[in-house]
């Protein structure tokens, strides 16, 4: 991160109050799905400076709610403005991607913004997509075009954007579910055109961001799901942007445009500042650089001659400062002072003061600055597979047989969950009535449950056993009346009187039956009921939630230096209780569940020792494999009764070029940042760098430390 500190300008001190009166302050209003933010900013030295932040306010859908929320936020910013000047009138909007279609604000959203400006008596200056503004701000802060994944977890949706070397490649909006990691995963699956995703995720503008970060950390980003896998080279780093980063980014982006535009251009209503989605927001600066290149060469030569003449009119003065006993003398670099002749006493005193102040300033510039440089390189990928046994009964590592001591880790969690039922069930009553049995043959014994079949093949059963006496042919058939009940529910069993029935398997010429009055009581209706699928879906959903909760707890409370084999985690149901059985009539189904997870952990240091041993001999000359660049994936091959697990281990190591930080520091000490990066580009594998210099000096004094020991260099793979 490049930071700057304003040093007091003594010559302009008395003109400061007049200059403050000339400053023009602006509003910035950032709008998201349910949240608005605001700030007051001003342009100083070609850069935007945020001078007051408003509160974060909630709104829902209507324009009235938006106006009220923005009004509250602006009021807070105004109170914090502390009366530096009059309240701003012009406003810059930071908008979400969903408010635009084909690079234009949608008609309904444009109307909302116009109504907002009219009611609050503010003048629209322009707008910028907040995602583009954050991209611009990241490049400004980190000193390198960002390659990151931005995630904004809103209430009803999740915004996912991928930045690749300072370009916004694509933005997706995913409907929010109960699992934030799954939502982000779904959004990233839509980036099918990208061969590789940046291994860095930045969360911003959400609630309980640390909890969200832990959820993303516990998600298996490199595992295959439903035959699809995200193209991460290694497990992504999850970070949280500061709470006000996005609103200050909007101010910063707007400030750069205000600095470039004329006053006439600034009065236009709701216009695009020219930020092109997916491109570097600062590309417009190339025009100024091209103008600089067109300065005639003779003008540069005249400047050089003038500087040479000034040098000849000066005399070099070299200073030394004695250190404590036993230390060597430090010699400051030489610098020039004008030659004074026959000056009055006050001039001599002033010259002495200037000399001392100059010596102190040069000493500070020479010894004080320190730089931390992160050097990003393109790695070579080395993959290796080997077999490993993790045994909880083993006390020490067995390198020869590739056996690591392990430890079982257990954790429990309980919870409740409800969901609507989707099953359907038909209920009702069975029809009843009486039939008269006619028997023309010998006596017949009919047991309870004997089946009578009527018209439409509707079946009824005998309610009690009965004996039918013998008859003497059709003319003198014996008769008996008995009660029967339908075998199923439904109004179709309410048969009319004089319906004929067959009796069991008897021939109708021997025995038959009919009813002399209609059957009644048959009804049916369909109800909402619990299905087996309802129970399975509810159990699966609650189990997944509790598993994620326990896994997050696993990773959070894992002792330093320990690694959990996620593939070894087993889930056991301790308590499972549904409030309804399958088939019960119900609108909702509730589940109380308690589960226990058991996983195997081992020493990460011991594992990396084995991994380095397996990789040894496969690393090409000029490259090195670092522990922090070795990624692993496990596949369970076999589980033994004693608790040990046989694993297939898949290693993927990012091999980085062997670079000498001391030599690099010698080459870049005292150089400005552009020359340093120009040298970096000559080194093997270089793709970018991040430079942090302390303390913070103005831009015109900003160079790398002149002492190589004050330059710390770290090489990382991109």
Band of residue 85 on the pLDDT scale cut at 50, 70, 90:
low
Contacts of 267 (CB under 8 A, 6+ apart): 123
Q: Which of 30, 39, 35 is nearest to 65 (CA)?
A: 35
Mean pLDDT, the chain, rounded, equals: 79
Answer for the pair 391, 646: CB distance below 8 angstroms, yes or no. Answer: no
Q: b/e string for 141-159 if b means 16 or more Cβ within 10 A?
A: bbbbbbbbbbbbbbeebbb
In the Cβ-directed half-sphere of 527, how many Cα atoms lie within 13 Å? 12
pLDDT at 537: 93
Using CA atoms, how far apart are residues 531 and 306, in angstroms rounded to an integer?
Answer: 92
Write the pLDDT tens digit of every residue in 121-168: 898 888 889 999 999 989 888 888 999 999 999 888 899 999 988 889
pLDDT at 150: 94
- The domains of the chain, with CATH numbers, are 10-133+247-283 (3.10.20.370), 142-243 (3.30.420.40), 303-367 (no CATH), 370-409+551-568+591-718 (no CATH), 429-523 (2.40.30)
pLDDT at 22: 60
Instruction: Tell me what percent of the residues of the chain surpass a pLDDT of 90.
Output: 22
The pLDDT of residue 196 is above 60: yes
Residue listed under structure tokens 């929010």: 176
Answer for the pair 582, 532: CB distance below 8 angstroms, yes or no. Answer: yes
Answer for the pair 371, 710: CB distance below 8 angstroms, yes or no. Answer: yes
List the structure tokens of 106. Answer: 């949608």
Segment 560-568 mean pLDDT: 80
Helix, strand and coil in the chain, % to nearest 5 = 30, 35, 35
The highest-confidence range among 1-5, 182-186, 326-330, by mean pLDDT, is 182-186
Q: Which of 595, 579, 599, 598 is nearest to 542 (CA)?
A: 595
Higher pLDDT, 359 or 221: 221
Answer for the pair 718, 146: CB distance below 8 angstroms, yes or no. Answer: no
CA triple 381-382-385, angle to 5 deg: 135
Higher pLDDT, 264 or 563: 563
pLDDT at 475: 66
In the Cβ-directed half-sphere of 694, how many Cα atoms lie within 13 Å? 2
pLDDT at 474: 63
Segment 523-528 mean pLDDT: 90
Burial class (CB in 10 A: 0-12, 13-18, 19+), 177: exposed
List the structure tokens of 48. Answer: 């935007």
Q: Which of 417, 413, 415, 452 is nearest to 432 (CA)?
A: 452
Report in angstroms the alpha-carbon separations of 462 from 450, 466, 481.
5, 9, 11
- What 3-state class would DSSP assign to 116? helix
Segment 536-553 mean pLDDT: 88
Instruction: Tell me what percent of the residues of the chain surpass a pLDDT of 70.
Output: 82
pTM of the predicted structure, to 2 decimals: 0.39
pLDDT at 463: 94
Range scoring the smallest mean pLDDT among 3-7, 43-47, 227-231, 612-616: 3-7
The pLDDT of residue 715 is above 60: yes
Q: Write out the DSSP string of 502-521.
A: EETT--TTTEEEE-SS--B-
Helix and strand totals (H; E) in the chain: 15, 36
Segment 194-218 mean pLDDT: 87
pLDDT at 235: 87
**What's 282's DSSP letter?**
T
Write the pLDDT tens digit of every residue in 600-637: 888 888 888 888 888 888 888 888 887 778 888 888 88
Higher pLDDT, 494 or 226: 494
pLDDT at 273: 38
Q: What is the CA radius of gyration of the chain?
A: 41
Higher pLDDT, 521 or 658: 521
Using CA atoms, how far apart are residues 622 and 708, in angstroms rounded to an integer?
Answer: 24
Band of residue 503 on the pLDDT scale cut at 50, 70, 90:
very high
Residue listed under structure tokens 């006596």: 443
Report in angstroms the alpha-carbon separations of 538 from 439, 527, 533, 534, 696.
58, 20, 8, 6, 57
Write the pLDDT tens digit of every residue in 310-355: 333 333 333 333 333 333 333 333 333 344 444 456 766 777 788 7
pLDDT at 656: 84
Segment 365-387 mean pLDDT: 85
pLDDT at 699: 65
pLDDT at 265: 36
Segment 270-279 mean pLDDT: 37
The pLDDT of residue 673 is above 70: yes
pLDDT at 226: 66
Higher pLDDT, 603 or 458: 458
Segment 101-121 mean pLDDT: 88
Q: b/e string for 58-81 if b means 16 or more Cβ within 10 A?
A: ebeeebeebbebbebbbebbbeeb
Higher pLDDT, 663 or 520: 520
Three-class SS of 410-427: EEEEEEEEEEECCEEEEE
Range scoring the smallest mean pLDDT among 318-327, 463-472, 697-706: 318-327
The pLDDT of residue 717 is above 80: no
pLDDT at 256: 67
């Amino acid at each position: 991160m490049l930071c700057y500190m304003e040093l007091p300008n003594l010559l302009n001190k008395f003109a400061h109050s007049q200059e403050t009166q000339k400053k023009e302050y602006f509003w910035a209003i950032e709008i998201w799905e349910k949240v608005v933010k605001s700030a007051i900013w001003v342009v100083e030295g070609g850069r935007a400076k945020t001078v007051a932040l408003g509160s974060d306010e909630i709104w829902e859908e209507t324009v009235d709610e938006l106006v009220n929320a923005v009004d509250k936020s602006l009021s807070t910013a105004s109170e914090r403005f502390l009366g530096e000047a009059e309240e701003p009138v012009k406003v810059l909007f930071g908008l979400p991607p969903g408010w635009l279609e084909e690079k234009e604000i949608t008609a309904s959203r444009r109307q909302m913004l116009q109504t907002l400006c009219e009611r609050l008596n503010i003048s629209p200056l322009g707008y910028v997509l907040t995602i583009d503004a954050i991209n611009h701000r990241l490049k400004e802060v980190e000193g390198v075009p960002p390659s990151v994944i931005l995630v904004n977890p809103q209430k009803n949706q999740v915004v996912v954007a991928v930045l690749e070397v300072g370009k916004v490649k694509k933005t997706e909006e995913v409907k929010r579910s109960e699992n934030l990691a799954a939502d982000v995963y779904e959004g990233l699956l839509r980036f099918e055109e990208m061969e590789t995703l940046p291994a860095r995720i930045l969360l911003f503008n959400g609630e309980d961001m640390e909890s969200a970060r832990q959820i993303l950390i516990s998600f298996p980003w490199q595992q295959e799901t439903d035959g699809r896998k995200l193209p991460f080279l290694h497990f992504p780093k999850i970070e949280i942007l500061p709470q006000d980063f996005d609103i200050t980014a909007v101010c910063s982006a707007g400030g750069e445009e205000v600095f470039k535009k004329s006053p006439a251009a600034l009065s236009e209503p709701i216009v695009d500042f020219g930020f092109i989605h997916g491109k570097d927001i600062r590309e417009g600066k190339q025009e100024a650089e091209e103008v600089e290149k067109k300065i005639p060469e003779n003008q540069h030569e005249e400047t050089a001659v003038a500087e040479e003449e000034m040098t000849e009119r000066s005399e070099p003065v070299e200073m030394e400062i004695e250190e404590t006993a036993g230390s060597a003398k430090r010699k400051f670099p030489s610098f020039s002072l004008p030659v004074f002749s026959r000056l009055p006493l006050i001039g001599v005193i002033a010259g002495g003061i200037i000399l001392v102040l100059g010596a102190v300033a040069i000493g500070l510039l020479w010894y004080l600055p320190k730089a931390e440089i992160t050097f990003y390189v393109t790695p070579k990928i080395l993959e290796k597979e080997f077999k490993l046994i993790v045994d909880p009964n083993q006390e020490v590592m067995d390198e020869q047989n590739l056996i690591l001591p392990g430890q079982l880790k257990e954790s429990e969690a309980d919870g409740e969950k409800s969901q609507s039922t989707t099953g359907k069930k038909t209920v009702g009553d069975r029809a009843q009535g009486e039939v008269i049995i006619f028997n023309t043959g010998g006596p017949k014994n009919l047991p309870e449950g004997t089946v009578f079949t009527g018209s439409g093949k509707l079946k009824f059963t005998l309610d009690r056993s009965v004996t039918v006496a013998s008859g003497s042919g059709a003319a003198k058939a014996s008769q008996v009346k008995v009660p029967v009940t339908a075998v199923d529910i439904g109004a179709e069993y309410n048969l009319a009187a004089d319906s004929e029935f067959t009796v069991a398997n008897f021939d109708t010429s021997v025995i038959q039956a009919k009813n002399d009055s209609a059957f009644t009581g048959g009804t049916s209706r369909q109800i909402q009921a619990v299905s087996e699928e309802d129970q399975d879906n509810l159990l699966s959903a609650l189990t997944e939630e509790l598993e994620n909760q326990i896994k997050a707890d696993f990773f959070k409370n894992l002792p330093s230096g320990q690694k959990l084999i996620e593939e070894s985690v087993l889930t056991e149901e301790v308590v499972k209780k549904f409030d309804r059985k399958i088939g019960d009539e119900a609108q909702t189904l509730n589940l109380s569940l308690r589960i226990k997870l058991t996983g195997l952990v081992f020493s990460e240091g011991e594992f990396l020792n084995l991994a380095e041993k397996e990789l040894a001999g496969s690393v090409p000359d000029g490259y090195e494999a670092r522990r922090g660049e070795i990624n692993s994936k496990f596949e369970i091959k076999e589980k033994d009764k004693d608790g040990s697990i046989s694993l297939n281990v898949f290693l993927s190591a990012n091999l980085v070029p062997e670079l000498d930080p001391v030599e690099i520091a010698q080459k870049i000490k005292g150089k400005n940042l552009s020359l340093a990066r120009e040298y970096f580009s000559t080194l093997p594998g270089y793709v970018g760098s991040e430079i942090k210099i302390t303390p913070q000096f103005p831009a015109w004094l900003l160079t790398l430390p002149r002492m190589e020991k004050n330059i710390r260099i770290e090489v990382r793979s991109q």
